[in-house]
Chain A
Amino acid sequence: MRCPICRKSVTWEGNPFRPFCSERCKLIDLDNWLAERYRISPPVETGEKNASAENPVPDTEGDRD
């Protein structure tokens, strides 16, 4: 397992800062959340499949019959 911030390898058991390596990295992560630095982008579309990327659940034809 790797620390989400610095990528150092970390252990889970007995690590008070899990999943981070240190209090430092955990705080940097918290700062990222509070400063709105974490963003998820919609899937990158490869061109022709715009519509399908919008909706990952395979849409069966006809919602109502």
Chain B
Amino acid sequence: MSKQKAAEPSGAQAYDATSIKVLGDLEAVRKRPAMYIGSTGAMGLHHLVWEVVDNSVDEALAGFCDRVDVIVHSDNSVTVTDNGRGIPVDMHKEEGRSAAEVVMTVLHSGGKFDTKSYKVSGGLHGVGVSVVNALSESLDLEIWREGYTWEQSYERGKPLATLKRAGKTERRGTKVTFLPDAKIFDSIEFNFDTLAQRLRELSFLNRGLTIRLKDERTNKQSEFHYNGGITEFVKHLNKNKDVLHATPLYAETERDDIHMEFALQYNDGYAENVFSFANNINTVDGGTHLSGFRSALTRAINQFGQNQGLFKDVKENLQGEDVREGLVAVVSVKLPQPQFEGQTKGKLNSDIQSTVASFVYEKLMEHFEKTLAVGRKICAKAIDAARAREAARKARELTRRKGALDSGGLPGKLADCQEKDPERCELFLVEGDSAGGSAKQGRDRRYQAILPLRGKILNVEKARFDKMLAHEEIRALITALGTGIGKEDFDVSKLRYSKVIIMTDADVDGSHIRTLLLTFFYRQMPELVERGHVYIAQPPLYLIKKGKKTQYIHDEKEFRREVLRRATEDHAVEFGEGSKKLRLEGGELTNFLMAFGEYIELYSKLEKRLGDGRPIDALLRAELSKKVELENQAKMEKVAKDLRAEGFKTTIKLDEEHNIYFLVIQSETQPERIIDWDLLTSPEYRRLFDLHKRVHVYDRPPFTISSNGNKVRIEDRKELVEHVMSVGKKSFTVQRFKGLGEMNPTQLWETTMDADQRTMLQVRIEDQVEADSIFTVLMGDVVEPRRQFIEENALDVKNLDI
């Protein structure tokens, strides 16, 4: 903006001796240096450089200078050179000496105290270069102005001679070399990084200005020149961050004599990094310009979010803290006679808040409307922040409300136990009110507590019912557990039960509630699982009765085995006919039929996948089961030949990526199918292959089932298994429990709750990771992957029913 400034300011007013006003005395500076430069430590020492550089930057602001060189010499003296107009050299009327000498020796005597010369001026303390002179062992001044070189030297602020015209020059500018007075400062060692940081900042703030820093002690040098100004500053601050939008938002304007500009860019972090400047002074404590910027930012994001309808997930407006997460911004204003507050002048007090706010709001809205995607991203980030803030508040409330009421605050639905020692207590999370009722009656109330939970059902669309845990259910759960929730409040040592047992029906609804609960524990209370507190009850699926003998059965496989075992007690099966026929009975027959049943099931799944059973038979005949076997074209050819004999068209192709062969087959009725390593290595095929080895010798219809002299002949293998199963089932009474509610309290106690008889699964982290991934799929809005997931897992229904 230095170029812009050039148009208006001092062109009209001459910068000469008349514009320098005399306000003070230098002796005071040496007596109380800290009053003028803050301290005599490193901060104060570096302020000397800032004072001199600020004079050069003022020239740049006024549009007369575009280069500043700073050199630190080996003795820690510093030279600052600019190509500005040069300090006025004519005689000062009131003082009777050169204006330059007045500037160098009289306190508060800079041109900046007269707004006519410098409309806008920086200057850290406004005390000017005379302070630097007073605190320097020596200072050499060289001015190039109006065709001549002028020189003057000082020691501890006192001129050794008057300003002398030395010779002719084409140059323009001022050069100041000073050696800080070691008697004043604790140390006169300058720090390169401190200098570099501030000089870089100055060059960001003064677009187009080149500042060079050279350190002759180490030969290190840097050059700072940013045509992008504060936009580049923001980019620089975000250098190693992942940003939300590639280009910082930037705007500048000049209103009511105030030049304002801002640049902002969000990163994906949570910290706020905002710099505010007034007349190049880093206002570390902010002030009116920063407040204006902040309020406008909050208002703009709220307005934009509302316009775009983005606030479905937040109840209230976004607050300032929400929109400042991940914000990196630079706000810079330049105004005549800025008012600062405080000893360090770190806060701007000038009454410009509303001017800045209306400018920032206007420009931000323009930006957001122009690049909607950026606006939405920023808004989404702020919404996340607001939601997290809200969740943290709710978490505190959930935990502390209970604390205030102590045990009286337990949820009404909880049927607590009498025992208070958590070590001995168990909490059953039971699905549904009816099952909850049975559990309450069946439990041992001394140490077993029951919390009935009902999955809330939502009719989302016609015939689609979504299941979820209602707010109240989660609240009740957290309260009953007693641990609290959230970073500050969760405390696993406050767990009121050492066993938390999920007891749900063995159906889809039950498995959904279980998945929801496991996912909740996994995500919000992983410690419970890590410490082994979470269990899954194993209610039986069947009750088998024969006479007075009863037996509970927990899973399908166990049920099948039991049914087959009973059937094969008095049944035998003959496989095939004539001399080659085979015969099985008893335990051998049970084992065979278990394997055969599984084999048939897998076979039909693969048959469905390939549209035909014959390719499976051909693969099994060729005994193909490993990926590496597909490197051999001859093996594939054997399968192909087999299938051609069956009427298939076949093509063998090379999968170049893996350097193995695959087979494309087509029958008259089916589209093309592919037989490749993917099929061969599928769990279904692998298991089928293993089972095939065990069962194939018996896989020869007809099958003859004999019992007490009666014989039944069956042609189909599937029918064989089904027939034997139905025979087995006839030998006893079977009760299938579709839900916990179908068991009476005694049955529930005996089978599922009694610690002496029950079996339970202890949940491990791996189970929960699994639950979480299933959960993620099941709750997805995207139908396609879910359908695919269901179809894939339909191969093994147990995966769904975790």
The answer to the question of A48 belonging to the interface, with a C-beta cut-off of 8 Å to chain B, is no
By beta carbon, the residue of chain B nearest A62 is B729
Q: What are the residues of chain B within 8 A of A18 when measuring CB–CB?
A: 526
Contact B787 A44 (CB under 8 A): yes
A33-48 at interface with B (beta carbon < 8 Å):
33-44, 46
Please choose the segment from B22-30, B336-344, B511-519 that sits at the chain A interface, where 4 or more of its residues have CB less than 8 A away.
Answer: B511-519
Contact B468 A27 (CB under 8 A): no
The answer to the question of B437 belonging to the interface, with a C-beta cut-off of 8 Å to chain A, is no
Contact B456 A36 (CB under 8 A): yes
Contact A31/B779 with A36-B471, A43-B508, A44-B786 known, Cβ cut-off 8 Å: no
Q: What are the residues of chain A within 8 A of B468 when measuring CB–CB?
A: 36, 38-40
Q: What are the residues of chain B within 8 A of A62 when measuring CB–CB?
A: 726, 729, 734
Q: What are the residues of chain B within 8 A of A20 when measuring CB–CB?
A: 523
Please choose the segment from B386-394, B616-624, B628-636, B684-692 that sits at the chain A interface, where 4 or more of its residues have CB less than 8 A away.
Answer: B386-394
The answer to the question of B733 belonging to the interface, with a C-beta cut-off of 8 Å to chain A, is yes
B755-802 at interface with A (beta carbon < 8 Å):
765, 769, 772, 775-776, 778-779, 783, 786-787, 790-791, 797, 800-801
Contact A28/B387 with A46-B791, A60-B556 known, Cβ cut-off 8 Å: yes
Chain A window 11-42, contacts with chain B (Cβ cutoff 8 Å), 1 for yes, 0 for no: 01000111110111011111101111111111
A4 → chain B closest CB, angstroms: 6
Please choose the segment from B65-73, B300-308, B459-467, B578-586 that sits at the chain A interface, where 4 or more of its residues have CB less than 8 A away.
Answer: B459-467
B531 → chain A closest CB, angstroms: 14
Contact B465 A42 (CB under 8 A): yes
Q: What are the residues of chain B within 8 A of A27 when measuring CB–CB?
A: 387-388, 391-392, 395, 486
The answer to the question of B170 belonging to the interface, with a C-beta cut-off of 8 Å to chain A, is no
Centre residue among B467, B469, B523 by max chain A CB count within 10 A: B523
Interface SS of A by simple majority: loop
A40 to B732, CA, bound (A): 39
The number of residues on chain B lying at the interface, defined by a beta carbon within 8 Å of a beta carbon of chain A, is 69
Chain B window 495-518, contacts with chain A (Cβ cutoff 8 Å), 1 for yes, 0 for no: 000000000001110011001100
The number of residue pairs between A and B whose CB atoms lie closer than 8 Å in the complex comes to: 149
Given contacts A40-B778, A60-B556, A65-B732, 20 further A-B contacts (CB under 8 A): A19-B522, A19-B523, A19-B772, A22-B270, A24-B388, A27-B486, A28-B387, A34-B391, A34-B475, A36-B468, A36-B471, A37-B313, A40-B467, A42-B464, A42-B465, A43-B786, A55-B507, A58-B556, A63-B738, A65-B733
- Of the A-B pairs whose beta carbons lie under 8 Å apart in the complex, a sample of 28, sorted by A's number, is A17-B487, A19-B526, A19-B769, A24-B270, A26-B524, A28-B388, A29-B523, A31-B387, A33-B469, A34-B471, A36-B468, A36-B471, A38-B519, A39-B466, A39-B779, A40-B467, A40-B778, A42-B464, A43-B800, A46-B787, A53-B508, A54-B508, A57-B541, A58-B556, A58-B797, A60-B725, A61-B726, A64-B736
Give chain B's interface residues, CB within 8 Å of chain A: 270, 313, 384-385, 387-388, 390-392, 394-395, 456, 458, 460, 464-471, 474-475, 485-487, 506-508, 511-512, 515-516, 519-520, 522-524, 526, 541, 556, 559-560, 725-726, 729-730, 732-736, 738, 765, 769, 772, 775-776, 778-779, 783, 786-787, 790-791, 797, 800-801
Give chain A's interface residues, CB within 8 Å of chain B: 1, 4, 12, 16-20, 22-24, 26-31, 33-44, 46, 53-58, 60-65
